[in-house]
A and B are shown apart, each in its own frame.
Chain A
Amino acid sequence: MKRNSDRWLDVLGLATLVFIVAGLYMAFVYAQTEVNMGLVYRIFFFHLGSVAAGFFAITLVAIAGLAYLRTNSRAWDRVAEASAEIGIVFCTIALITGSIWAKPIWGVWWTWDPRLTSFLILWLIYIAYLMLRASARDDPRVARFSAVFGIVGFIDVPIVIVSARYWRAISPVLFQENAQGFTFGLTPEMIQTLVVCIIAYLLLFFYLLAQRVRLESLRDEIMAIRRARSAG
């Protein structure tokens, strides 16, 4: 018989699938083609979805790190490690798709624009975080140090967000302030598609997180059985 958590995971998986299919339909059919960029701009919906999921994952690493430092609970440590790994996957997707999008639009694969550079630094910080975690998986000192590392690394997230607004950058700024207040440089259809894609990616993040945390629980179970064997 299925456990309650398995049933919730199935529901989450189904909801993720529905939103991904809806996001694909809206990105390909519903949203109109952008005048200057043509068809290639449609990557933007999934590129920004990856960025949102990546930032959310990294925020969760910092929150789980803080909770771990306060409570010393292995459950929070598991969430931080799993979230960092999935965050890296989404940030890697964002880096690669951003580059693929930039080539036909800007004519270059990469430029040392403030937003791109700060995002690359963020990616490197969390690659280092995962390397640190892999160096001594079951050492509580490494877990504590990683928690601090994850919290300090999070400081780069707001820098990435505001970099295009406050430094000379070629990355687009989505929210713009004018006489009417804040405006979004997109049509209503594009905004709706973007929202659906971001929700789809966040649901995908939670689904993968649940699976990845379960993996860490299995690892802990193995360690406990090994300890029991060596003690007996």
Chain B
Amino acid sequence: MQPTLSDLLVEIRNLSYFFVGFAVIWASVLGFAFLVARRGKDLRAEIDELKKALNADARK
């Protein structure tokens, strides 16, 4: 049986749900990975600064 216009419209509408679903999945995973990486970078910078300050305190 040939698909009707209404079948085709339903499939196109479903396609949009499909793409939104995949966008949500990968945006969430990549967003979280990016946040973790940025927090790690900030913490490493803070450790470097604190170590420098600790060394400066020791020299005084």
Q: Which one, A43, A222, A228, A229, contacts B46 given CB within 8 A? A: A222
Determine the distance from Cα of A151 to Cα of B50 in the docked complex, in whole angstroms: 36
Q: Is B1 an interface residue (CB 8 A)?
A: no
Q: Are A39 and B15 in contact (CB under 8 A)?
A: yes
Q: What is the size, in residues, of chain A's interface with B at 8 Å between Cβ atoms?
A: 33
* In the complex, residue of chain B having the shortest beta-carbon distance to the beta carbon of A42: B18
A208: contacting residue among B20, B36, B39, B51, CB under 8 A: B36
Rounded to whole angstroms, the CA-CA distance of A156 and B57 in the bound complex is: 52
Give per-residue flags for B33-46: 1 if the beta carbon is below 8 A from chain A beta carbons, else 0. Answer: 10011011001101
Q: Give the distance in Å from the alpha carbon of A42 to the alpha carbon of B15 in the complex.
A: 11
Contact in complex: B36, A93 (CB < 8 Å):
no
- Determine whether A108 belongs to the interface, using a CB cutoff of 8 Å to chain B: no
A225-B47, A229-B54 known; A40+B40 contact, CB < 8 A? no
Question: Chain B contact residues (Cβ within 8 angstroms of A): what range?
Answer: 20 to 34
In angstroms, Cα B33 to Cα A86, docked, is 10
Is the pair A225, B51 in contact by a Cβ cutoff of 8 Å?
yes
Interface of A is mostly: helix
What B residues does A222 contact at CB under 8 A? 43, 46-47, 50
Tell me, yes or no, whether A89 is within 8 Å of chain B by CB. yes
Nearest CB to that of B18 among chain A residues?
A: A40
How many angstroms from the CA of A97 to the CA of B19 in the assembled complex? 11
Per the bound structure, the CA–CA distance linking A228 and B58 in Å amounts to 11
Within 8 A of A (CB), among B2-42: 10-11, 13-15, 17-18, 20-22, 24-25, 28-29, 32-33, 36-37, 39-40
Q: Is the interface of B mostly helix, strand, loop or mixed?
A: helix
Are A218 and B47 in touch, CB under 8 angstroms? yes
Given the known interface contacts A97-B21, A214-B40, the answer about A204 and B50 at a Cβ–Cβ threshold of 8 Å is no
Contacts of A47 in B (CB 8 A): 21
CA distance A97 to B20 in the complex (A): 9
Pick the contact of B14: A89, A104, A228 (CB < 8 A).
Answer: A104
Q: Is A212 an interface residue (CB 8 A)?
A: yes
Q: Which residues 39-94 of A have a CB within 8 angstroms of B?
A: 39-40, 42-43, 46-47, 50, 86, 89, 92-93
The answer on a CB contact under 8 Å between B14 and A100 is no
> Could you tell me if A100 and B29 are in contact, using CB atoms closer than 8 angstroms?
no
Q: Which residues of B contact A (CB under 8 A)?
A: 10-11, 13-15, 17-18, 20-22, 24-25, 28-29, 32-33, 36-37, 39-40, 43-44, 46-47, 50-51, 53-54, 57-58
